[in-house]
Homo-oligomer: A and B are copies of this chain.
Amino acid sequence: MVDTRFHHFAGPIKLVDLVSAAGHAGMVPALGGEAPVHGAADLMAARPGDIGFISDKRYLPALAETRASFVVASAEFAALAPAGTLVLPSADPYADFVDLLEVLYPDNTARAARRAAKGPAGIDATAQLEEGVVVAPGAVIGANAEIGTGTVIGPNAVIGPGVAIGRHSVIGAGANLECTLAGDRVVIQPGARTGTEGFGFLPRPSGARKIPQLGRAILQEGVEIGANTTIDRGTLIDTVIGEGTKIDNLVQIAHNCRIGRHCQIAANAGLAGSTVIGDYVLMGGNCKSAGFLTIGEHSILYAGTAVSKDFPPQSRLAGVPARDVKQWRREVAALTRLGRRSQQS
Protein backbone atom coordinates (compact mmCIF):
# COMPACT_ATOMS: atom_id res chain seq x y z
CA MET A 1 0.00 0.00 0.00
CA VAL A 2 1.21 3.50 -0.67
CA ASP A 3 2.90 4.92 2.42
CA THR A 4 0.98 8.01 3.47
CA ARG A 5 4.03 9.12 5.35
CA PHE A 6 5.34 10.33 1.99
CA HIS A 7 2.29 10.53 -0.25
CA HIS A 8 -0.79 12.43 0.85
CA PHE A 9 -3.89 10.24 0.62
CA ALA A 10 -7.21 11.92 -0.24
CA GLY A 11 -9.36 8.94 0.79
CA PRO A 12 -10.87 6.71 1.98
CA ILE A 13 -13.36 7.30 -0.77
CA LYS A 14 -16.25 5.21 -2.09
CA LEU A 15 -15.36 3.37 -5.28
CA VAL A 16 -18.19 5.01 -7.17
CA ASP A 17 -17.01 8.45 -6.15
CA LEU A 18 -13.41 7.61 -7.00
CA VAL A 19 -14.09 6.50 -10.54
CA SER A 20 -16.44 9.38 -11.03
CA ALA A 21 -13.82 11.91 -9.89
CA ALA A 22 -11.34 10.26 -12.23
CA GLY A 23 -13.66 10.62 -15.18
CA HIS A 24 -14.42 6.92 -15.47
CA ALA A 25 -17.93 6.71 -14.04
CA GLY A 26 -18.78 3.87 -16.39
CA MET A 27 -16.05 1.66 -14.97
CA VAL A 28 -17.89 0.43 -11.86
CA PRO A 29 -19.95 -2.76 -12.18
CA ALA A 30 -23.56 -2.74 -11.03
CA LEU A 31 -22.70 -4.06 -7.59
CA GLY A 32 -19.95 -2.95 -5.23
CA GLY A 33 -19.65 0.73 -5.93
CA GLU A 34 -20.42 1.70 -2.35
CA ALA A 35 -17.33 -0.04 -0.94
CA PRO A 36 -14.63 2.31 0.35
CA VAL A 37 -11.18 2.36 -1.29
CA HIS A 38 -8.46 2.51 1.36
CA GLY A 39 -5.47 2.84 -0.89
CA ALA A 40 -3.73 1.75 -4.06
CA ALA A 41 -1.21 -1.05 -4.16
CA ASP A 42 0.73 -3.48 -6.23
CA LEU A 43 -1.25 -6.70 -6.57
CA MET A 44 1.15 -8.69 -4.40
CA ALA A 45 1.28 -6.12 -1.62
CA ALA A 46 -2.40 -5.21 -1.67
CA ARG A 47 -4.57 -5.69 1.36
CA PRO A 48 -8.38 -5.80 1.48
CA GLY A 49 -9.68 -2.33 0.68
CA ASP A 50 -6.87 -1.63 -1.81
CA ILE A 51 -7.14 -1.11 -5.53
CA GLY A 52 -4.65 -2.51 -8.00
CA PHE A 53 -4.41 -3.11 -11.72
CA ILE A 54 -3.12 -5.56 -14.28
CA SER A 55 -1.89 -4.60 -17.74
CA ASP A 56 0.58 -7.36 -18.57
CA LYS A 57 0.35 -11.12 -18.38
CA ARG A 58 3.56 -11.29 -16.38
CA TYR A 59 1.46 -10.23 -13.40
CA LEU A 60 -1.10 -13.03 -13.74
CA PRO A 61 0.40 -15.02 -10.85
CA ALA A 62 0.10 -11.91 -8.71
CA LEU A 63 -3.48 -11.45 -9.82
CA ALA A 64 -4.33 -15.00 -8.83
CA GLU A 65 -3.07 -14.41 -5.30
CA THR A 66 -3.99 -10.79 -4.74
CA ARG A 67 -5.98 -9.71 -1.72
CA ALA A 68 -6.88 -6.42 -3.40
CA SER A 69 -10.58 -5.63 -3.21
CA PHE A 70 -10.58 -3.90 -6.58
CA VAL A 71 -8.58 -4.51 -9.77
CA VAL A 72 -8.60 -2.50 -12.96
CA ALA A 73 -8.18 -5.06 -15.73
CA SER A 74 -8.71 -5.57 -19.41
CA ALA A 75 -11.37 -8.03 -20.57
CA GLU A 76 -8.82 -10.79 -21.22
CA PHE A 77 -7.70 -10.86 -17.59
CA ALA A 78 -11.00 -10.08 -15.92
CA ALA A 79 -12.05 -13.68 -15.47
CA LEU A 80 -8.76 -14.57 -13.78
CA ALA A 81 -9.19 -12.40 -10.70
CA PRO A 82 -9.85 -14.17 -7.40
CA ALA A 83 -13.39 -14.50 -6.19
CA GLY A 84 -14.08 -11.56 -3.92
CA THR A 85 -12.03 -9.15 -6.02
CA LEU A 86 -14.16 -6.67 -7.89
CA VAL A 87 -12.92 -6.18 -11.44
CA LEU A 88 -13.17 -2.74 -12.99
CA PRO A 89 -13.16 -3.35 -16.73
CA SER A 90 -10.89 -1.15 -18.81
CA ALA A 91 -9.62 -0.97 -22.36
CA ASP A 92 -6.45 0.76 -21.14
CA PRO A 93 -5.88 -0.45 -17.58
CA TYR A 94 -2.61 1.30 -16.76
CA ALA A 95 -3.78 4.70 -17.97
CA ASP A 96 -7.11 4.36 -16.20
CA PHE A 97 -5.37 3.26 -13.02
CA VAL A 98 -3.17 6.35 -13.23
CA ASP A 99 -6.33 8.44 -13.45
CA LEU A 100 -7.51 6.83 -10.21
CA LEU A 101 -4.11 7.30 -8.57
CA GLU A 102 -4.23 11.00 -9.29
CA VAL A 103 -7.49 11.24 -7.36
CA LEU A 104 -6.34 9.07 -4.46
CA TYR A 105 -2.89 10.68 -4.14
CA PRO A 106 -3.27 14.21 -5.41
CA ASP A 107 0.28 15.39 -4.67
CA ASN A 108 1.90 15.43 -8.09
CA THR A 109 5.55 16.40 -8.53
CA ALA A 110 4.85 20.10 -8.19
CA ARG A 111 2.58 19.84 -5.15
CA ALA A 112 4.96 17.57 -3.29
CA ALA A 113 7.84 19.90 -4.08
CA ARG A 114 5.87 22.91 -2.93
CA ARG A 115 5.07 21.32 0.39
CA ALA A 116 8.69 20.33 0.95
CA ALA A 117 9.92 23.77 -0.06
CA LYS A 118 7.71 25.58 2.44
CA GLY A 119 9.59 24.29 5.47
CA PRO A 120 11.92 26.45 7.49
CA ALA A 121 15.68 26.70 7.19
CA GLY A 122 17.49 24.08 9.23
CA ILE A 123 15.37 21.59 11.13
CA ASP A 124 11.59 21.55 10.84
CA ALA A 125 9.83 21.87 14.18
CA THR A 126 8.02 18.58 13.64
CA ALA A 127 11.16 16.60 12.84
CA GLN A 128 12.22 14.16 15.54
CA LEU A 129 15.92 13.92 16.18
CA GLU A 130 17.25 11.66 18.89
CA GLU A 131 19.95 13.06 21.11
CA GLY A 132 23.39 13.02 19.62
CA VAL A 133 22.40 13.79 16.06
CA VAL A 134 24.77 16.29 14.42
CA VAL A 135 23.31 18.54 11.76
CA ALA A 136 25.83 20.55 9.73
CA PRO A 137 25.31 24.11 8.52
CA GLY A 138 23.09 24.52 5.51
CA ALA A 139 21.37 21.17 5.97
CA VAL A 140 17.58 21.22 5.60
CA ILE A 141 15.47 18.66 7.45
CA GLY A 142 11.82 18.40 6.49
CA ALA A 143 8.61 17.95 8.41
CA ASN A 144 8.20 14.74 10.40
CA ALA A 145 11.63 13.45 9.49
CA GLU A 146 13.12 11.09 12.08
CA ILE A 147 16.83 10.70 12.72
CA GLY A 148 18.50 8.31 15.13
CA THR A 149 21.26 9.01 17.61
CA GLY A 150 24.80 9.32 16.37
CA THR A 151 23.75 10.12 12.84
CA VAL A 152 25.48 12.99 11.04
CA ILE A 153 23.77 15.14 8.43
CA GLY A 154 26.43 16.83 6.30
CA PRO A 155 26.65 20.42 5.10
CA ASN A 156 23.92 21.45 2.66
CA ALA A 157 22.33 18.00 2.71
CA VAL A 158 18.57 17.90 2.26
CA ILE A 159 16.39 15.44 4.16
CA GLY A 160 12.85 15.45 2.79
CA PRO A 161 9.59 15.35 4.73
CA GLY A 162 8.92 12.07 6.49
CA VAL A 163 12.33 10.56 5.75
CA ALA A 164 13.56 8.26 8.50
CA ILE A 165 17.24 7.55 9.12
CA GLY A 166 18.49 5.10 11.73
CA ARG A 167 21.34 5.44 14.18
CA HIS A 168 25.02 6.07 13.52
CA SER A 169 24.41 6.81 9.88
CA VAL A 170 26.21 9.42 7.77
CA ILE A 171 24.67 11.64 5.13
CA GLY A 172 27.36 13.35 3.06
CA ALA A 173 27.60 16.96 1.95
CA GLY A 174 24.96 17.99 -0.54
CA ALA A 175 23.29 14.58 -0.59
CA ASN A 176 19.56 14.35 -0.39
CA LEU A 177 16.96 11.82 0.60
CA GLU A 178 13.29 11.86 -0.31
CA CYS A 179 10.68 9.20 0.36
CA THR A 180 13.42 7.13 1.96
CA LEU A 181 13.66 4.88 4.99
CA ALA A 182 17.29 4.25 5.89
CA GLY A 183 18.52 1.91 8.59
CA ASP A 184 21.35 2.07 11.10
CA ARG A 185 24.95 2.59 10.01
CA VAL A 186 23.94 3.65 6.53
CA VAL A 187 26.44 5.84 4.66
CA ILE A 188 25.31 8.15 1.87
CA GLN A 189 28.29 9.74 0.19
CA PRO A 190 28.19 13.37 -0.99
CA GLY A 191 25.81 14.30 -3.76
CA ALA A 192 23.92 11.01 -3.79
CA ARG A 193 20.13 11.16 -4.24
CA THR A 194 17.78 8.54 -2.88
CA GLY A 195 14.06 8.17 -3.21
CA THR A 196 13.84 10.48 -6.21
CA GLU A 197 11.06 10.14 -8.74
CA GLY A 198 11.55 7.24 -11.11
CA PHE A 199 11.39 7.46 -14.88
CA GLY A 200 7.96 6.17 -15.77
CA PHE A 201 5.74 7.58 -18.47
CA LEU A 202 2.82 6.37 -20.50
CA PRO A 203 3.10 7.18 -24.20
CA ARG A 204 0.23 9.43 -25.23
CA PRO A 205 -0.37 11.01 -28.61
CA SER A 206 0.17 14.38 -26.96
CA GLY A 207 3.45 13.22 -25.43
CA ALA A 208 4.55 11.32 -22.34
CA ARG A 209 2.29 11.19 -19.31
CA LYS A 210 3.93 10.75 -15.94
CA ILE A 211 3.06 7.67 -13.90
CA PRO A 212 2.88 8.77 -10.27
CA GLN A 213 5.84 7.45 -8.33
CA LEU A 214 4.27 6.46 -5.03
CA GLY A 215 6.76 4.03 -3.56
CA ARG A 216 9.73 4.45 -1.27
CA ALA A 217 13.43 3.76 -1.24
CA ILE A 218 14.46 1.39 1.54
CA LEU A 219 18.11 1.30 2.52
CA GLN A 220 18.66 -1.45 5.01
CA GLU A 221 21.22 -1.51 7.79
CA GLY A 222 24.81 -0.97 6.79
CA VAL A 223 24.09 0.07 3.20
CA GLU A 224 26.57 2.47 1.60
CA ILE A 225 25.71 4.61 -1.41
CA GLY A 226 28.47 6.29 -3.46
CA ALA A 227 28.97 9.91 -4.42
CA ASN A 228 26.48 11.29 -6.95
CA THR A 229 24.71 7.93 -7.17
CA THR A 230 20.95 7.96 -7.72
CA ILE A 231 18.42 5.54 -6.22
CA ASP A 232 14.87 6.10 -7.42
CA ARG A 233 11.94 5.26 -5.21
CA GLY A 234 9.47 2.62 -6.32
CA THR A 235 6.37 3.21 -8.39
CA LEU A 236 3.91 1.36 -6.16
CA ILE A 237 6.23 -1.09 -4.41
CA ASP A 238 9.56 -0.07 -2.88
CA THR A 239 13.06 0.09 -4.24
CA VAL A 240 15.07 -1.96 -1.74
CA ILE A 241 18.81 -2.07 -1.10
CA GLY A 242 19.55 -5.03 1.14
CA GLU A 243 21.48 -5.10 4.37
CA GLY A 244 25.19 -4.47 4.07
CA THR A 245 25.14 -3.84 0.33
CA LYS A 246 27.71 -1.34 -0.95
CA ILE A 247 27.13 0.76 -4.04
CA ASP A 248 29.88 2.85 -5.62
CA ASN A 249 29.81 6.30 -7.26
CA LEU A 250 27.66 7.37 -10.21
CA VAL A 251 25.42 4.33 -10.14
CA GLN A 252 21.78 4.47 -11.23
CA ILE A 253 19.26 2.22 -9.50
CA ALA A 254 15.87 2.61 -11.11
CA HIS A 255 12.45 2.26 -9.52
CA ASN A 256 11.34 -1.05 -8.06
CA CYS A 257 14.78 -2.65 -8.06
CA ARG A 258 15.36 -5.11 -5.25
CA ILE A 259 19.02 -5.60 -4.44
CA GLY A 260 19.91 -8.39 -2.03
CA ARG A 261 22.09 -8.34 1.05
CA HIS A 262 25.86 -7.90 1.05
CA CYS A 263 26.17 -7.17 -2.64
CA GLN A 264 28.86 -4.92 -4.08
CA ILE A 265 28.08 -2.83 -7.14
CA ALA A 266 31.01 -0.89 -8.59
CA ALA A 267 30.90 2.52 -10.25
CA ASN A 268 28.94 3.52 -13.38
CA ALA A 269 26.49 0.65 -13.02
CA GLY A 270 22.93 1.14 -14.17
CA LEU A 271 20.05 -1.11 -13.19
CA ALA A 272 16.83 -0.59 -15.08
CA GLY A 273 13.48 -0.76 -13.35
CA SER A 274 12.39 -3.90 -11.48
CA THR A 275 15.79 -5.59 -11.58
CA VAL A 276 16.03 -8.22 -8.82
CA ILE A 277 19.48 -9.14 -7.52
CA GLY A 278 20.12 -11.93 -5.04
CA ASP A 279 22.35 -11.80 -1.97
CA TYR A 280 26.14 -11.60 -2.23
CA VAL A 281 26.22 -10.62 -5.89
CA LEU A 282 29.38 -8.84 -7.03
CA MET A 283 29.22 -6.46 -9.99
CA GLY A 284 32.35 -4.96 -11.55
CA GLY A 285 32.35 -1.43 -12.91
CA ASN A 286 29.93 -0.33 -15.58
CA CYS A 287 27.53 -3.27 -15.36
CA LYS A 288 24.02 -2.74 -16.66
CA SER A 289 20.75 -4.59 -16.45
CA ALA A 290 17.64 -4.39 -18.54
CA GLY A 291 14.58 -4.32 -16.36
CA PHE A 292 12.25 -7.07 -15.13
CA LEU A 293 14.91 -9.71 -14.65
CA THR A 294 16.58 -11.62 -11.86
CA ILE A 295 20.27 -12.28 -11.19
CA GLY A 296 20.70 -15.13 -8.75
CA GLU A 297 22.56 -14.92 -5.48
CA HIS A 298 26.34 -15.27 -5.30
CA SER A 299 26.67 -14.36 -8.97
CA ILE A 300 29.69 -12.44 -10.24
CA LEU A 301 29.40 -9.96 -13.09
CA TYR A 302 32.67 -8.89 -14.67
CA ALA A 303 33.10 -5.23 -15.53
CA GLY A 304 30.96 -4.06 -18.41
CA THR A 305 28.45 -6.90 -18.30
CA ALA A 306 25.00 -6.01 -19.63
CA VAL A 307 22.37 -8.42 -18.38
CA SER A 308 19.26 -8.81 -20.50
CA LYS A 309 17.58 -11.94 -19.12
CA ASP A 310 17.38 -14.01 -15.93
CA PHE A 311 20.45 -15.80 -14.64
CA PRO A 312 20.57 -18.45 -11.92
CA PRO A 313 22.53 -18.27 -8.67
CA GLN A 314 26.32 -18.59 -8.88
CA SER A 315 26.44 -17.29 -12.46
CA ARG A 316 29.73 -15.93 -13.79
CA LEU A 317 28.84 -13.38 -16.43
CA ALA A 318 30.54 -11.08 -18.92
CA GLY A 319 29.81 -9.34 -22.19
CA VAL A 320 27.01 -7.54 -23.96
CA PRO A 321 24.54 -9.15 -23.82
CA ALA A 322 25.67 -11.08 -20.76
CA ARG A 323 26.69 -14.71 -21.11
CA ASP A 324 28.86 -17.14 -19.21
CA VAL A 325 32.32 -15.65 -18.85
CA LYS A 326 34.02 -18.67 -20.44
CA GLN A 327 31.81 -18.49 -23.50
CA TRP A 328 32.47 -14.75 -23.66
CA ARG A 329 36.22 -15.28 -23.61
CA ARG A 330 35.95 -17.80 -26.45
CA GLU A 331 33.90 -15.34 -28.49
CA VAL A 332 36.41 -12.55 -27.95
CA ALA A 333 39.22 -14.88 -29.04
CA ALA A 334 37.26 -16.11 -32.07
CA LEU A 335 36.48 -12.56 -33.14
CA THR A 336 40.12 -11.59 -32.76
CA ARG A 337 41.16 -14.45 -35.04
CA LEU A 338 38.47 -13.50 -37.52
CA GLY A 339 39.71 -9.91 -37.61
CA ARG A 340 43.30 -11.05 -38.14
CA ARG A 341 42.35 -13.46 -40.89
CA SER A 342 40.43 -10.77 -42.75
CA GLN A 343 43.55 -8.64 -42.63
CA GLN A 344 45.60 -11.34 -44.34
CA SER A 345 43.09 -12.21 -47.05
Q: CB within 8 Å of B: which residues of A?
A: 109-110, 113-114, 116-122, 134-138, 140, 150, 152-156, 158, 160, 168-170, 172-174, 176, 178, 187, 189-191, 193, 196-197, 199, 201, 207-208, 210, 222, 224, 226-230, 232, 243-244, 246, 248-250, 252, 254, 261-262, 264, 266-268, 270, 272, 284-286, 288, 290, 303-304, 306, 308, 320-321, 323, 327-328, 330-336, 338-343
CB–CB A156/B140 < 8 A: yes
CB–CB B244/A207 < 8 A: yes
CB–CB A334/B338 < 8 A: yes
17 A-B contact pairs sorted by A residue (CB < 8 Å)? A113-B152, A116-B173, A117-B135, A120-B137, A137-B140, A138-B158, A156-B174, A176-B191, A189-B197, A199-B266, A210-B224, A228-B230, A230-B249, A248-B254, A249-B252, A327-B340, A335-B335
With a CB–CB cut-off of 8 A, which chain B residues contact A154?
113, 116-117, 158
CB–CB A327/B331 < 8 A: no
CB distance from A173 to the nearest CB of B (A): 4
Cα–Cα, bound, A330→B193 (Å): 40
CB–CB A228/B304 < 8 A: no
CB–CB A335/B343 < 8 A: no
CB distance from A260 to the nearest CB of B (A): 11
CB distance from A29 to the nearest CB of B (A): 35
CB distance from A30 to the nearest CB of B (A): 40
**Residue in B114, B134, B267 whose CB lies within 8 Å of A152:** B114
CB–CB B290/A303 < 8 A: yes
CB–CB B136/A138 < 8 A: no
CB–CB A208/B262 < 8 A: yes
CB–CB B136/A117 < 8 A: yes
Cα–Cα, bound, A140→B158 (Å): 15
CB–CB B222/A226 < 8 A: no
CB–CB A114/B134 < 8 A: yes
With a CB–CB cut-off of 8 A, which chain B residues contact A320?
304, 320
With a CB–CB cut-off of 8 A, which chain B residues contact A284?
272, 290
With a CB–CB cut-off of 8 A, which chain B residues contact A334?
335, 338-339, 341-342
